[in-house]
Amino acid sequence: LAKTTQPISMDSYEGQEVNITCSHNNIATNDYITWYQQFPSQGPRFIIQGYKTKVTNEVASLFIPADRKSSTLSLPRVSLSDTAVYYCLVGDVFTGGGNKLTFGTGTQLKVEL
């Protein structure tokens, strides 16, 4: 499985755009890129997933360059409630069904007033 590397922590202020970049140099052809958010004492929550180019949903955008060796999660206008750990995952489907998720270290985002 492709290993991911992302910053351990980031700080931001309310109303700013936050971009968290993840490196996955050994990504395989079948791998998707997925981001999860985790608050303390809660399970991770799916944010966004992509394979290539750009994906946007109601909470975030995901930018993936053509070589797919990195990806950037963009959070527009963050608020205090966006303070959480953000995990970048590169995964594939299991043979026989299910999705293989290998969590990296994650990025602790802290948003201040």
Q: Summarize as ranges the residues that interact with another protein (CB under 8 A).
A: 30, 32, 34, 41-46, 49, 87, 91-94, 96-106
Cα dihedral 15, 17, 18, 19 in deg (nearest 10): 180
Shortest distance, position 107 Cβ to another protein, whole Å: 11
Cβ-based nearer residue to another protein, 58 or 113: 58
| Residue partners of 51: CB distance under 8 A and separation at least 6 | 32, 33, 64, 68
Cβ-based nearer residue to another protein, 27 or 87: 87
Quote the distance between the C-alpha of residue 13 and its chain's center.
19
Measured CA distances, 36 to 67, 87, 96, 113 (Å): 22, 5, 24, 24
Shortest distance, position 71 Cβ to another protein, whole Å: 14
Shortest distance, position 42 Cβ to another protein, whole Å: 6
Cβ-based nearer residue to another protein, 33 or 78: 33
